[in-house]
């Protein structure tokens, strides 16, 4: 294809955000961007074509420990006891292991319908805290894995400085996460040389407990708004909220808004425990609530105030976080089901009579995920990345479905995989349910986890 050539594709129905467009024609240029179609012909994609879903929160290495923390431990099993298991597992991971695990994870994401991922990356150094000869070695392993699998990547190198709100030093198991601000800023500068259509580099502050106030001020002064998205874990656990109140005199979200100009550049991951005032303030700011319902359920975090947040016009997206599930369907399904269990009512996300829960959630997660990614994704529009998924129109789950019920059926009709084909940046990565390189990537992954065991 020449540099200005456009490939044309036909779709029986293409999701345009506000609904399905019948008999759509999509143009894809040589750079992998969607463009206005110049002619009506072209290859047929399928009957149901959707924008691929951005995954806004991932810790790739945790994919290999999924299922290994489900035996009863001490009486007060919680996030904090799970974290000790995670620290022990993290100590076994180096660059080669991380690349193998991440590539397998990214293949699984693509097959599930995620076409881009935000990697919240804090596994920087060797297990004893000594930097690698190339300080960016672990970050480059993630970039290489994303390119190998063919998924879009927003890399978020994490600043992690202290072990608690009281400023305590990092524990032995946390030392490989740690940076001083200057070294971390140098890491960002190095990694930004990797940026392009496939890779965006933003930044992440691990949490308020891990980033002192002085460091927050220094980072925000050093990082102009043009340098990409900012992500932060916040208000995930009740204990975290209590510690923040005790040491900083305010709840985490309340404190952050008082000390930073939070706007649409920000993604507040989890934000589970909010007051009504914090919920409204987060919604007004334009920042994205980064929700990870399967991980939040697995860790016993709690439930996000979804109805109030949607009523306030808040932006949200979804992530698979610890990867005990890798499915946008399951994340969105359990986002809704958690609310139903808490309220004992149905169709919570649909705020107006006649609204579709599936359409409401898919639309919201596409929009918030694109904001959090800092990349032109999540829409089938001119200039956006040609990231799309094609549903299996022959599946019994979609039999006799009209356009108005397709997304509800996709999310709520069962667990049979419905993502047949996946395109990222104009290139097919999954065809007929199979990733183009899944056998080799899976074989390498099996070898790595066998050695880690």
The partner residues of 203 in beta bridges, in order of sequence, read: 230
CB 379 within 8 A of CB 275: no
Backbone angles phi and psi of 307, in degrees to 5: -60, -45
Find tokens 């479905």 and name the residue.
Answer: 401
CA–CA dist 378, 52 (Å, integer)? 6
CA-nearest of 62, 86, 26, 54 to 288 is 54
Which residues fall within 8 angstroms of residue 405, CB to CB, at 6 or more apart? 356
Q: Please, are residues 329 and 357 in contact by the beta-carbon 8 Å criterion?
A: no
Strands 114-121, 53-58: pairing kind:
parallel
Beta strand segments in 237-312, E: 266-270, 288-291
**CB-based contact 28:6 (threshold 8 Å):** yes
Do residues 186 and 136 lie in contact, with contact meaning Cβ atoms separated by under 8 Å?
A: no
Q: State how beta strands 203-205 and 199-201 pair.
A: unpaired
CA 344 to chain centre: 29
| Cβ contact 288:266 at 8 Å | yes
Q: Give the 3-state secondary structure of residue 287.
A: coil
How far from 297 is each of 301, 303, 330, 417, CA to CA, in Å? 6, 8, 12, 22
- Identify the H or E element spanning 314: none
> Helix, strand or coil for residue 152?
strand
Whole-angstrom distance, CA of residue 146 vs CA of residue 373:
14
How large is the C-alpha radius of gyration of the chain? 21
Tell me which DSSP letter residue 413 carries. S
Active centre residues (catalytic): 270, 321
Query: Over the range 35-62, which residues count as b (16 or more CB within 10 Å of their CB) and which as e?
Result: bebeeeebeebbbbbbbbbbbbbbbbbb
């Amino acid at each position: 294809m020449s540099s200005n050539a456009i490939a044309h594709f036909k779709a029986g129905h293409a999701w345009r955000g506000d609904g399905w467009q019948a008999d759509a024609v999509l143009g894809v240029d040589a750079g992998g961007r969607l463009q206005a179609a110049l002619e009506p012909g072209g290859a047929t994609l399928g009957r149901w074509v959707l924008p691929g879903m951005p995954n806004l929160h991932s810790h790739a290495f945790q994919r290999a420990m999924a299922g290994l923390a489900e035996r009863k431990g001490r009486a007060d099993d919680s996030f904090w006891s799970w974290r000790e298991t995670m620290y022990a597992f993290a100590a076994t991971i180096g660059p080669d292991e991380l690349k193998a695990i991440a590539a397998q994870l990214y293949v699984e994401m693509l097959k599930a319908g995620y076409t881009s991922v935000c990697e919240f990356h804090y596994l920087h150094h060797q297990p004893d805290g000594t930097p690698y000869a190339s300080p960016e070695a672990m970050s480059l392993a993630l970039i290489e894995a994303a390119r190998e699998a063919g998924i879009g990547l927003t890399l978020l190198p994490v600043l992690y400085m202290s072990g608690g709100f009281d400023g305590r030093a990092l524990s032995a198991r946390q030392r490989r996460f740690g940076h001083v601000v200057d070294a971390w800023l140098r890491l960002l500068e190095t990694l930004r040389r990797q940026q392009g259509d496939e890779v965006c580099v933003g930044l992440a502050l691990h949490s308020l407990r891990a980033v002192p106030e002085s460091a927050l001020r220094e980072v925000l002064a050093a990082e102009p708004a043009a340098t990409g998205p900012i992500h932060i874990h916040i208000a995930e656990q009740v204990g975290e909220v209590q510690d923040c109140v005790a040491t900083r005199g305010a709840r985490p979200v309340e404190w952050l808004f008082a000390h930073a100009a939070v706007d649409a550049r920000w993604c507040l991951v989890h934000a589970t425990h909010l007051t009504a005032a914090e919920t409204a303030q987060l919604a007004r700011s334009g920042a994205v609530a980064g929700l990870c319902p399967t991980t939040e359920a697995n860790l016993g975090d709690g439930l996000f105030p979804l109805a109030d947040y949607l009523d306030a016009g808040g932006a949200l997206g979804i992530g698979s976080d610890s990867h005990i599930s890798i499915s946008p369907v399951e994340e969105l399904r359990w986002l809704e089901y958690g609310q139903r269990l808490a309220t004992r009512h149905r169709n919570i996300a649909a705020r107006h009579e006649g609204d579709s829960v599936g359409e409401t959630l898919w639309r919201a997660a596409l929009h918030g995920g694109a904001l959090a990614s800092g990349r032109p994704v999540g829409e089938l529009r001119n200039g956006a990345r040609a990231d799309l998924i094609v549903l299996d129109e022959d599946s019994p789950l979609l039999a006799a479905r009209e356009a108005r019920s397709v997304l509800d059926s996709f999310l709520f009709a069962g667990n049979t995989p419905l993502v047949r084909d996946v395109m990222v940046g104009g290139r097919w990565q999954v065809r007929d349910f199979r990733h183009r390189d899944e056998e080799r990537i899976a074989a390498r992954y099996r070898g790595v986890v066998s050695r880690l065991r």
